[in-house]
Structure 1
Amino acid sequence: MLVYSCHGAAKQVTGSCHLIECNGRRVLVDCGMFQGDRAAEQANAEPFGFDPATIDALLLTHAHLDHCGRIPRLVRQGFRGRILATSATRELARLVLLDAAGLQEEDARRAARSDRRGEEAVEPLYTIDDALHAIDFFEPGLGYGHDIDVAPGIRARFFDAGHILGSAQVLLTLGEGAGQRTMLFSGDLGNPGRPLLRDPVPAPAADYVAMECTYGDRPHRSVPDSVVELYQAIRETVGRRGNVVIPTFALERTQEILYYLHLGLRDGQVPPHVRVFLDSPMAISATEIYRRHPECFDAQFLQVLQHGDPFAMPGLHFTRSTQESMAINAIDGGAIILAGSGMCTGGRVRHHLKHNLWRERSSVVFVGYAAQGTLARRIIDGAASVRVLNQEIPVRAQVWTINGFSAHAGRPDLLDWLGRAPRRRVFLVHGEYDRGMRGMGEALTGLGVDWQMPGMGEPIRLD
């Protein structure tokens, strides 16, 4: 008997976690963290909905926190199976999990220092030791296009998803003989036409597909138009002597924006006197990891690599230390500040927002998805003021939202990826219920495709 159940990203965007049960074996695809409002964060501490000790293997599509962020908790609660991922994902996941553990430990220490008399002590979801222990379960990295035996009666093959470095679609072959079925997990699919990575491989034949639909209701603006708008935002802001704050995800978006800033300075589209600050220790380390994995790059970008460092530029500063980060706040204008997190839920970007959101001369440029309930989403949706680091800050800076830089495929590209091959059913996951999921569902209905939005933990038999 084959059973599929979704234990994260069910009728919501984050927390991706999928369970397949086949011939007495249990395999997970992803084990991600919920992100957004306080309720989403609290969900990370809730039971998984299955016994981690019974899981034979975990297949990781990529290293974003909402796909890998609960792995140390899974291990802490008894998982002792194999963790399989591409080489680049394995390396990035180590960076992401250690960073997440460090932030959780720091949040717990900060809460302990505050006046919380009469309340229970705040415990981190997991510690740095937990993260290091979990990393031990990762096996040597896999390449694309090769079959691997995961467990008796279960084989997997990874295909390039074009989302971030090392990201993969996972095709599972389940069972043997006449009862054999195939199921494809899209992971997160990249936005085609971006400069660093290859486009996603079209969906291979599969009986069932679990498909992300973050942008299932709309297309993206074109990448060239988005680059033009980015340069415009920078020129206008620098022209009025303000700073440009760009909340960025450490993986992929940061490297892509650095590349476009490199080109803009080279071609005169960005004022030559600007100072660019990459204020994210994790993004700095991730950029070094990118340099180590040319096997993931687009062929044209590989040619660019032959002629120098595509991320380097005059006036670029990597700020690892807290003191260096704080010094940026003394700059009155003419700075471009890239800092995490992309949804402004944590990290150093909150300090830069505190010092720039209230300034009419400055700009905040959003270049990626912002989930409901996040600080980024409240700013994007036009809040007159927002709470940042326990202080109410008026939003007077100019706010730009440039979604063409998204690392997720838009609706037309998702449909192109799925293609017209017959499917028994498509499961819509990883999207906002009233937007991405319903929008994609309407499109699939028009194409005569059977689809379903799984409920959290709902067991679905695969006939």
Structure 2
Amino acid sequence: MKIKLKFLGGAGNVTGSSYLLEASGKRLLVDCGLYQEWQLKGRNWQFPVPPDSIDAVLLSHAHLDHSGRIPKLVKEGFNGTIYCTDVTVKLAEIMLEDAGHIQEEDAFTKQRRHEKEGRKGPHPEIPLYTAEDAIKCIPLFEPVKYGESFEIGNGIKATFYDAGHVLGSAMIKISIGQNGDERSIIFSGDIGRWNAPILRDPTIFDKADYILVESTYGNRLHENMNDIKDELDEVILSTIKAGGNIVVPAFALERAQELLFYLRELRNEKRIPMLVVFMDSPMAINITEVFEDNSNYFDKETMALVRKGLSPFEFLGLKMSRTNEESKAINSIKGTVMIIAGSGMCTGGRIKHHLVTNISRTESTILFVGYQASGTLGRQILDGAESVRIFGQYLPVRARIAHIDGFSAHADKDDLL
């Protein structure tokens, strides 16, 4: 039996996850992620294999570093099936369309800036794909259920199992049968953490021939999850005392909802005073609604809340900002507020406007609750840059910079072993 496996991304770096599996005359992609490190973005423009030669894509979850090049793949000729869980279909539709809008906006902004400065950037000044391209790829998605095997063809079967990383995330087991012989490969995708809130723990397997495991944090241990509320409590209380705002760059999928979950607990335990919290991200708002509509993916503790008619993501003082007008109005509010906005690495979106307003204020806090890839604005701030460039202007960094490591949705060394 001949099985050929090639790492197309996510090896030697964090983003751009993608594997090419060739067996029994079939060519399969497991994930098709976007490169998000600045120095690797050039790789997004070309695929190492012709997209029209790929028979199917198996998608582990909706995060862009695993799904973000699917519209580009379809645009360049892929016309096969994209398999993923039902809720991943819903999340991918939201996230990929938003990514297309951002690609369009970034291309337009760069083109204007480069024309003004009389230069060209290292990458094409056109969108990698548009929002329309993203919408066109959705009919190719086919939902599958956890634990139910399905045929891909030529003796190849696949089964998705709960990965506990984000809503609908999966570890994918591919079984290849030939002439009475069978081999199995498990692609872990991103693995969640044991005893994390909201979602069930990752699935444990007892048998496989080959296992490909993510190791984003395979060489370290996370802070104790029990410390998250203590650290969040400290940031909130100290910033209220200083009279500034708490600006939180947060990923719209999972991190934003997890943050709301902990804020709700802090309020219910009366550890923090009444605080106005703005979810200033239409995408995060839409994704939170998907969470609310798919509580069957929750762990038993969170399900118990839902059965009581309670939302794990709602509390007094939470305000959803959908429109640009609502977002701009936040700047005129007196007193301390918390602003949760994307993008999570500060590469685009409304967070950049809130950074312009707050990053030079000594009384404000910029709170990071997620991974910051090298070359991103978020990484520059987290690494202690004295000034950063936002919208073409350099701003001094005077705000307090805080980071809560325990929020990670990736398994650490002990979780993996």
Structure 2-normalised TM-score? 0.95
Aligned to 1:44: 44
- The residue type equivalent to 1:90 in the other structure is V
Aligned to 1:4: 5
Matches of residues 432-451 of structure 1 in structure 2 within 5 Å?
none
Distance 1:183 1:74 in 2: 24
Distance 2:165 2:370 in 1: 12
Unpaired stretches in structure 2, ≥5 consecutive residues: none
Distance 1:407 1:216 in 2: 13
Aligned to 2:412: 410
Distance 1:175 1:392 in 2: 59
Say whether residues 1:383 and 2:382 are aligned partners.
Answer: no
Distance 1:7 1:115 in 2: 31
Aligned to 1:360: 362
Superposed CA RMSD in Å reads 1.6
Matches of residues 29-428 of structure 1 in structure 2 within 5 Å?
29-37=30-38, 39-45=39-45, 47-114=46-113, 116=115, 122-139=125-142, 141-177=143-179, 179-272=181-274, 274-307=275-308, 308-415=310-417
Distance 1:291 1:246 in 2: 22
Distance 1:334 1:50 in 2: 52
- Contact 2:25-2:154 at 8 Å conserved across structures: no
- Contact 1:187-1:211 at 8 Å conserved across structures: yes
- The residue type equivalent to 1:284 in the other structure is I
- The residue type equivalent to 1:43 in the other structure is R
- Contact 1:15-1:33 at 8 Å conserved across structures: yes
Provide, for residues 152-190 of structure 1, a one-character-per-residue CA deviation record: whole Å limited to 9, x for no partner: 121111110000000000011123245421111010011
Q: Which has the higher contact order (CA 8 A, sep 6+)?
A: 1
Query: 1:89: Cα distance to partner?
Result: 0.5
Query: 1:113: Cα distance to partner?
Result: 4.2
Query: 1:102: Cα distance to partner?
Result: 1.0
Distance 2:179 2:365 in 1: 60
Query: 1:193: Cα distance to partner?
Result: 1.6
- Contact 1:156-1:171 at 8 Å conserved across structures: yes
Provide, for residues 34-73 of structure 1, a one-character-per-residue CA deviation record: whole Å limited to 9, x for no partner: 0021x3222211x211111111110000000010000011
Distance 2:107 2:14 in 1: 26
Distance 1:315 1:226 in 2: 21
Number of paired residues? 411
Provide, for residues 106-154 of structure 1, a one-character-per-residue CA deviation record: whole Å limited to 9, x for no partner: 2233344446168597211111221111111011x21111111112121
Q: 1:133 aligns to what SS in structure 2?
A: helix
- Contact 1:250-1:282 at 8 Å conserved across structures: yes
Distance 2:25 2:114 in 1: 50
- Contact 1:243-1:332 at 8 Å conserved across structures: no
Q: Relative to 1, partners in 2 of residues 1:392 and 1:114: Cα closer, same or farther, differing over 3 Å?
A: closer
Distance 1:388 1:113 in 2: 15
Q: 1:180 aligns to what SS in structure 2?
A: strand
Distance 2:120 2:346 in 1: 27
Distance 1:119 1:66 in 2: 26
- With 103-112 and 168-177 compared, the bigger mean Cα shift is at 103-112
Distance 1:346 1:36 in 2: 14
Query: 1:213: Cα distance to partner?
Result: 0.8
- Contact 1:36-1:345 at 8 Å conserved across structures: no
Distance 2:100 2:226 in 1: 37
- Contact 1:73-1:125 at 8 Å conserved across structures: yes
- Contact 2:114-2:120 at 8 Å conserved across structures: no
Q: Relative to 1, partners in 2 of residues 1:391 and 1:412: Cα closer, same or farther, differing over 3 Å?
A: same
Q: Relative to 1, partners in 2 of residues 1:281 and 1:18: Cα closer, same or farther, differing over 3 Å?
A: same
Distance 2:107 2:386 in 1: 30
Provide, for residues 183-238 of structure 1, a one-character-per-residue CA deviation record: whole Å limited to 9, x for no partner: 11010011222210011112442111111111111111111111111111101111
Provide, for residues 407-460 of structure 1, a one-character-per-residue CA deviation record: whole Å limited to 9, x for no partner: 111111011xxxxxxxxxxxxxxxxxxxxxxxxxxxxxxxxxxxxxxxxxxxxx
Structure 1-normalised TM-score? 0.86
Unpaired stretches in structure 1, ≥5 consecutive residues: 416-463
Distance 1:95 1:263 in 2: 28
- Contact 2:15-2:35 at 8 Å conserved across structures: yes
Distance 1:183 1:204 in 2: 13
Distance 1:220 1:119 in 2: 41
Distance 2:394 2:231 in 1: 29
- Contact 1:56-1:151 at 8 Å conserved across structures: no
- Contact 1:229-1:402 at 8 Å conserved across structures: yes
Aligned to 1:26: 27
Query: 1:77: Cα distance to partner?
Result: 1.0
- The residue type equivalent to 2:266 in the other structure is G
Distance 2:314 2:182 in 1: 51
Give the % identical residues.
46
Distance 1:127 1:115 in 2: 21
Query: 1:246: Cα distance to partner?
Result: 1.0
- Contact 1:220-1:410 at 8 Å conserved across structures: yes
Query: 1:310: Cα distance to partner?
Result: 2.1
Q: Relative to 1, partners in 2 of residues 1:260 and 1:118: Cα closer, same or farther, differing over 3 Å?
A: closer
